[in-house]
Structure 1
Amino acid sequence: MAALQLKAALLILGIAAGRKLLFRFFSPRLPEWLWILVGIRLLLPQGIGIPILSVRHLCAPYPCDPFAAPLPGVAVWVRWSGADAVLLILLANALRFYGRMRQKEDLQNDAVSGWIQAHSRGPRFRVYTSSMAASPMVYGLFSPKIVLPAQQYSETQYEYILLHEWMHIRRKDLWKKALMLAATALHWYNPACWLMLALFNRDIELACDADVLRALGKAEHAGYAHVLLDCYCRMNPSAVLETGFLSGMLQERIGAIMNQKKMSKKAACCAVFLFGSLLLTAFGKISVQAVTPENVPVLTWKTLPEAKEVLGKEGYGYTLSFEVVR
């Protein structure tokens, strides 16, 4: 378990350190999937992995690998008690959120109805409006719903906002967030996991923005950034901001929107290599085969010629060393 936590922490810190560099040369979807890869590794048992090296190690009857030693009973109890507490807090927040969302109404106007009809071939969803919504958002794992604040928007704003939320549904982002929340709750005692969750929530919005911009075209990038900034200025400060149109750092998102560019084939090949390298690092494992002295011939009370003869018959090599005892 200690080895898994150390490996996860190093991977998370490495991705976080190189995050800005990744955005400079690659698509925003690459950091998103790197985080998901680490999250999947954390949810799987430590014994599951890709064997990449087998090592034979001569050791005593006690375990050779200190990281493989089992946790004390108290540590196991604290770990699972903490995970249960985090899950209960998440469940309480979800129930409170769903309680607030009961005060929602179907949003019906020509702009919304026309947009829904134009995207009827995609994933199914319904559009609501609520005074409890701080910003446009989407929620519901099995039955996605788009909720907009009780405000008036222009037809262009409806177009960009609904496209962004619909892209979240199409990309299954709610399921991705559920996976990362589960990984963080299970490994709540690892501070790097909370850093991973915070950065993932920002990177998933950048990746969604990139897919929206790809659907809109380069001529509409500035208009999309303007709508994002306008919605932020009109956000209801008394409401709690949930996952939605304004999630993530606004300055970082607008900068990424205005600097959006198509990834070259060379960069795509490098991205595949980087993802594969991280895959082997995350899931690769070294199997240590302990060779205990049980099969070593007993040489107690034997003379030197006798010991040489026994070792030669068994196929063992040997070296002579002398120790002076006073």
Structure 2
Amino acid sequence: MTYVQMYIQVFFDWVIRASLMASVLVVLIVLIKWMLRNKLQPKWHYLLWLPVVIRLVLPWAPESSYSVYNLLPIKQQLSNEFLSGSLDDISNRYEQQLKNKVNSPSEWTLQGPSDVHSAAYVPEKQVHAKQSFVDLLSTITLRDILLFGWLLVVIVLSLVTLIANINVYRRIKKQPKVTNPAVLQVFEQCKRQMSVKQPILLTETDAVPSPAVYGFMKPRILLSRSLIRSMDADQFRYIFNHELAHIKRRDVAMNWLMHVLVILHWFNPIMWVVYARMRADQEVACDALALSYIHAEHKAAYGQTIINLLEHYTGVRRYPGLVGLSGNYKHLKRRILMIKHFKKNSIRLSVLGLATLITVCSFSLVNAQGTPAELKETVEVVKLSQPGGGQSPTVKTAEEANQVLQKYFNLTGFSLIPDEREVATASYVTTDDSMRVWIGPNKKIIGINDMKAWKDKKNRIETKKEQWISIDQIKEKAIQLAQPFLDVSVQEVQITTTHPHNDSYIILDIIPSSEGNLTGDPFRISFDQSTGAILNVNP
């Protein structure tokens, strides 16, 4: 696993998490829109989708007891604590798989003494290729398969989108500008009326049958030749009011953003439905903005123009960079009803819409509150049955490190070698990275990490607390392990025991003391209380 693969996995986990949270938010928004369907103005119906977009792009959010995700049975998986754990897990997997990087023929090719004999008469390249393939298969997990499938579809959809939009651009860029003086005069009047100062190009093209806006940095309004010949000045005014409303509201940019998000969340059908609903609400909101610049007595004429365009000039395929007339009969009916009952902005309804949006954001743009780790700590002074052993073994070779593990910690079955990987994680490691040993500048062991015991603990279904080894037994074992490393003058120690609530992970700090005063450095050791296995040692 490379750094790139690690970051892709982190990104994939974030996408899954964001998709789940956004889906919950969508259900809430649909319910609110239904309850306030006749009380919210069209622009607020559209803006209510904004929290979904923000939720999908939000890399991090503070935790809150008011989060709507606290109501879910999987709220712990939606907390920041769970995300951090996911990142740690991926980071650990990256460190463990660094062992597969081969720097020379002698490194990481053979997995132990038994392999030396079996590979004696096999060409080295063949042994290495076979072992590399076996190692590769052994590291593939279900998450890796899901990640590959997700990434493959994302790449395909991205290429399809890119190619389709390049084709549209090629068809449009060489098309002539609109030169009809009457059309240009109406267009300039509408720009002044709607206070649009951005330069906008009017393009005459039959590539797109209905009026449409293309692009958002250098927008164009597209008009077909048949449309220019058949429409009168008032109808052009209504068309320009609508298309300029799209430009004022930056709808093309929003469609691009949402389209990218749909590609990333292609596996979630709710996101596809949201995208379609957003674009439908977008058209209604643009109608409302256009109507705000049109006299009330012209509402019917505006509505009739929209109907004519949808009947005779629809059929444009939807592109994220192109906003044109679209919608089915149900959406058309909704637009006509909105146009019929449209009223200018009401302060009361605007306040209701703003309050609704703020409320939704305050409950949905914060993460579920994680369960805090409840640490239980006890301190006691213990008289030693015999004084410290005064041992201070030095380690200069991997063989000496193996001897220390066996003699002092009863850790057998490990064959340590120097960690000479590109990114070293310890001084000595096993070839399968099941054990790590750190050596300080003074050639003393400063840390031992039993990665196999950690992995076993993580993968094991936690046993009942009543089946755990008692804390007294764990303390007795810890004192036995620490005793050889304590000074010969040490007669008593202070033991600090720390462990999270309902977790078998337990840490013991053993510190030399005399008459209640601490007199030396701590000897820290951690155990899996369920099995009694040593997890970490810091002599």
TM-score over 0.5 (shorter chain): yes
Question: How has the CA–CA distance of structure 1 residues 18 and 103 changed in structure 2, closer, same or farther, with 3 Å as cutoff?
Answer: farther
Q: Is 2:239 the counterpart of 1:161?
A: yes
**Alignment counterpart, residue 144 of structure 2, candidates 44, 63, 73:** 73
Q: Which has the higher contact order (CA 8 A, sep 6+)?
A: 1
3-state SS of paired residue (2:49):
helix
Change (3 A) 1:301 1:127: closer
Residue 52 of structure 1 corresponds to 64
Aligned to 1:323: none
Q: 1:95: Cα distance to partner? A: 1.3
Match of 2:203 in 1: 128
Q: Distance in 2 between matches of 1:174 and 1:133?
A: 16
Contact 1:36–1:180 (8 Å) recurs in 2: no
Equivalent residue for 2:348?
266
Q: TM-score, normalised by structure 1?
A: 0.79
- Aligned equivalents of 1:285 and 1:164: distance in 2? 38
> Structure 1 stretches of 5 or more lacking a match?
55-63, 303-313, 315-326
Relative to structure 1, the CA distance from residue 20 to residue 136 in structure 2 (aligned partners, 3 Å threshold; closer, same or farther) is farther
Match of 2:55 among 41, 46, 54: 41
User: Aligned equivalents of 2:156 and 2:57: distance in 1?
Assistant: 18
Q: Residue 370 of structure 2 corresponds to which residue in structure 1?
A: 288
Q: 1:102 to 1:112 in 2, by over 3 A?
A: same
Q: Identity, % of aligned pairs?
A: 23
User: Which residue number corresponds to residue 110 of structure 1?
Assistant: 181
How far off is 1:260 after superposition? 1.4
Quote the offset at 1:281 in angstroms.
2.4
Question: 1:17–1:287: structure 2 CA closer, same or farther, 3 Å change rule?
Answer: closer
How far off is 1:240 after superposition? 4.3
Tell me which residue corresponds to 2:44.
Answer: 30
The correspondence of residues 131-150 of structure 1 with structure 2, limited to 5 A, is 131-150=206-225
Q: Which runs of 5+ in 2 are unaligned?
A: 1-13, 67-74, 91-142, 380-469, 475-496, 498-539
- Is residue 94 of structure 2 the alignment partner of residue 94 of structure 1? no
**1:102: Cα distance to partner?**
4.1
Which among 300, 303, 309 is matched to residue 472 of structure 2? 300
Q: How far did residue 154 of structure 1 move?
A: 0.6
| Structure 2 CA distance for aligned equivalents of residues 177 and 241 of structure 1 | 10
Q: CA deviation at 1:164?
A: 1.1
CA RMSD in angstroms, aligned pairs only: 2.9
* Secondary structure, aligned partner of 1:83: helix
Query: How far off is 1:293 after superposition?
Result: 5.5
CA distance in 2, matches of 1:164, 1:66: 44
Asked if the contact 1:111/1:158 (under 8 Å) is kept, the reply is no
1:5 corresponds to which residue? 19
Q: Do the aligned residues in 2 keep the contact of 1:103 with 1:132 (CA within 8 Å)? A: no
**SS of 1:106 mapped into structure 2:** coil
Residues of 2 paired with 1:264 and 1:162: CA distance? 25
Aligned length: 292
Q: Which residue number in structure 1 is paired with residue 313 of structure 2? A: 235
* C-alpha distance 3-95 of structure 1, shift in aligned 2 (>3 A): closer
Match of 2:69 in 1: none
Question: Structure 1 residues 94-103 or 289-298, which shifts more?
Answer: 289-298
* Partner residue, 1:256: 338
Distance 1:112 1:134 in 2: 17
- Say whether the 8 Å CA contact 1:40–1:183 is kept in structure 2: no
Higher helix share: 1
CA gap 1:160/1:202 in 2 versus in 1, 3 angstroms: same
| 8 Å contact kept, 1:133–1:240 | no
Q: Is the 8 A contact 2:76 2:369 kept in 1?
A: no
**Partners of 2:244 and 2:46 in 1: CA distance:** 18
Q: Which amino acid aligns with 1:246?
A: L
Q: What is the distance in 2 between the residues matched to 1:148 and 1:101? A: 11
Counterpart of 1:126, as a letter, is L
CA change 1:251–1:103 in 2 (3 A) is farther
Aligned to 1:180: 258
What displacement does 1:24 show? 1.2
Separation in structure 1 between the aligned mates of residue 286 and residue 171 of structure 2, nearest angstrom: 26
Shift of residue 137, structure 1, vs aligned partner: 0.3
